[in-house]
Amino acid sequence: MADVNLHALGEEFQQLRQKSGKDLSEQDQERKQQVMNSIVEQLGLPGTPAADLLSTLGKPDEMVPLLQYDNDQQVSAQVMPGPVLDGQQAASTVRPPYYFVYYCRGKHDHYYFKIDSVKETVITSDWRH
């Protein structure tokens, strides 16, 4: 039942998303946000496969390595190139998370999904306005 509802919500979101700003009434804007809220309740949970987001919501409006306002960003140390000394193992390459961003009311109001780049699953999601 939830899959059918999620599929229907995804189709409705895609239809609302294709309307341009001037063709999108205030009622459509509100409905788009309601639909997105319902989708995020199901797909915004940690561990949700990123592929599920893409199949339901379509291609993100932005896919970025960092959000300007993310307080949880960590900068990884750069490793100098060159030989490994004393038999030490080279530091493993850290693959930082990335973000799927879906606009709701322009760039100002949007949902974002923080994606684990190794597991390709949702770490967290939130609404930004």
Give the pLDDT of the chain (129 residues) as one tens digit per residue.
467 699 999 999 999 988 876 777 889 888 998 999 999 999 999 999 999 999 999 999 999 998 876 555 444 434 444 455 555 554 556 789 999 999 887 777 889 999 999 999 999 999 887
Q: For residue 82, what is the DSSP state?
A: S
User: How is domain 2-68+90-128 classified at the architecture level of CATH?
Assistant: 2-Layer Sandwich (3.30)
The H helix count followed by the E strand count for the chain is 3, 4
Residues 123 and 72 sit within 8 Å (Cβ to Cβ): no
Question: What's the pLDDT score for residue 46?
Answer: 98
Q: List the chain domain ranges.
A: 2-68+90-128
Determine the Cα–Cα distance for residues 18 and 49; give it in Å rounded to an integer: 24
For 40, the 3-state DSSP assignment is helix
